[in-house]
Amino acid sequence: MTMSAPISLSTAAPPANTQGLGEENSIWFKLTALLRGDHANPMRVLLQMQDRYGPVIPLNMANQRVVLVTDPELFKYVLVTKADNYIKYFDGLKPIFGKSMITNDGALWQKIRMPQQPAFHPDVFAEYIPYFLQAIDAKMKLWDDLAQSGETVEMVEQTWTLAADMICKALFDRDMPFNPHVVFKYVKTYTDVMNHKEIRQKRQAGELFEGTEEDATKAIEAWQAVPPAVIAADPREHRERTLLTMIEAAVADPNIPEFDQAQAIDEIKQYLWAGTETTALTLAWALYEISRNPEIADRIRAESQAVFGDREPTAADYSSLVYTRAVIQETMRIYPPIWGLIRVAAIDDTIGGKEIKAGDRIVLFAYGAHHNPKFWDDPEAFVPERWTDKTKKQVKYSYIPFGAGKRSCIGGAMSQVENTLALSILLRKFQPEYVGPMPAGIHATVTLTPKGGLPFKIKRLA
Ligand code: HEM
């Protein structure tokens, strides 16, 4: 049994503020200037720049140099070969992540990540499967009602609440101790970087509109209340091996004084964003593509019937859901939730022959590599089979939905289990139908989100 200490709630709530929102120096603010050029898909502006100017594109933006990097070999250079020289960048997002490990670098990052790493070992997340299934089951009950009422729902919100329930049940041994719909809406206010500029302009003009700073403050307050609620909630089963017990053990460990109570709170915050937003977007975009291509739904249903039939799927079954997993992989190629990875150059350097100055912001354009015809046949087509066709060799680092190198996603493999199982099980009973404009537009926030959401009607299969 692990030594653990309860996490104190007194460290939980520094005063709410909108720090970083629309800050002139935030890279998110700067990128909006570029991304506004194409309203249906702002990514196309960057794709055109990639075509025209090559793999390293330095841009002078006000007092800052932003360097757009689009080549897989150079992703490797920044994320793997010279990872220590390109450090994490989180200006403008601190209220979301606090000082959690995702924002740290060097020895401190290592000290914080190490005690949590075992929670994401495949043997350990196999133990989470029953809890993922319970969350999917709760969603199915809700979808039964939605199918009856015939109302239109926002799919990203549906999948976000599912992902948050999975994290709470599996990783924290808690039922979701907050209203996920409220938290979802408020946090979106903050991560919608395209909105930041507007908020900032209104603030400068002395205006305070609905959906501006007042909302942003509420968003931060709602967000700050979440980790204390998780900690205070009753454990569901008093399981010994969960991410939360590992975090508690780290707080109690005198060898890692840096892992204090406040750190624990921020780690929980981090998981409830990094582990929900990205997973939810992937599942929602997958359902959108499937709704447009009913033959994909048929293949997913046939696979689930063949692999687990009418019983509950197990960890071993997950490995056999090859086609369903390919649908998830293809979704993350076309719609990488993290469309650009951001770093700051710690020292002067050269990338792809172009001079880099310490302080330059580096944007590794994952979406660009995922859509580059040099690496993918017919890159705009949604073709899950490209992941099952073993005769085609992929160019290394041309697919980086989870990043690469030592800072790659801690929960990436687990998220594929969550989404593959969710897709497989939900489609057994339901036919979610996308009812929004075709094609759905793209909105580049910190993540790649659907413009105006993904409205769906839930139909039950006969
Ligand atoms: C489709 C699902 C997911 C995607 C696309 C995704 C994507 C990413 C990416 C690209 C990074 C690296 C960012 C960078 O290098 O700047 C990252 C890091 C991270 N992700 Fe995920 N993620 C997903 C799911 C999850 C889940 C389920 C969890 C946990 C429950 C999680 C927790 C984290 C954490 C804690 C980090 C920071 C790791 C570190 O800095 O050491 N993610 N994720």
Segment 281-285 shows an average pLDDT of: 98
SS3 396: coil
Output phi, psi for 310, to 5 deg: -95, 0
**8 Å CB contact between 149 and 460:** no
Given a cut of 60, is residue 22 above it in pLDDT? no
Distance CA 132, CA 358 (A): 44
CA 102–ligand 1 middle distance (angstroms): 8
Q: How far is the CA of 273 from the centre of ligand 1 (A)?
A: 9
Which residue, among 33, 30, 4, has the nearest Cα to 264 in the 3D structure? 4
Order of strands, sheet of 86-88, starting from the edge strand that comes earlier in the sequence: 56-61, 64-69, 361-365, 340-345, 86-88
Domains and CATH numbers, the chain: 37-178+225-449 (1.10.630.10)
User: Looking at residue 14, what is its pLDDT?
Assistant: 41
* Ligand 1 mean position, distance from CA 332 (Å): 13
SS3 label, residue 273: helix
Among 45, 51, 21, smallest CA distance to 33 is for: 45
Kindly report the pTM of this predicted structure.
0.92
- Looking at the predicted structure, is the pLDDT value of residue 29 above 60? yes
Ligand 1 contacts (CB < 6 A) are: 101-102, 113, 167, 270-271, 274-275, 278-279, 282, 332, 337-338, 341, 401-403, 407-412, 414-415
Tokens coding 168: 């709470």
State the burial class of residue 374 (Cβ atoms within 10 Å of its Cβ: 0-12, 13-18, 19+).
exposed
Q: How far apart are CA 66 and CA 363, in angstroms?
A: 7
Residue to mutate (ligand 1; options 244, 335, 409, 445; most atoms within 8 A of CB): 409
Which pLDDT value is given to residue 183? Answer: 82
pLDDT tens readout for residues 156-213: 999 999 999 999 999 999 999 988 888 887 777 666 655 555 555 555 555 443 455 5
Rounded distance between C-alpha atoms, residue 74 and residue 353, angstroms = 11
Q: Where are any strands of DSSP class E within 73-183? A: 86-88, 152-154
Tokens standing for residue 242: 């969960």
Q: Are 93 and 23 in contact (CB under 8 A)?
A: no
The string of pLDDT tens digits covering residues 96-129 is: 788 899 999 999 999 999 999 999 999 998 899 9
Strands 361-365 and 64-69: parallel
In this structure, the residue with its CA closest to atom 11 of ligand 1 is: 409
**What's the full length of the chain, in residues?**
462
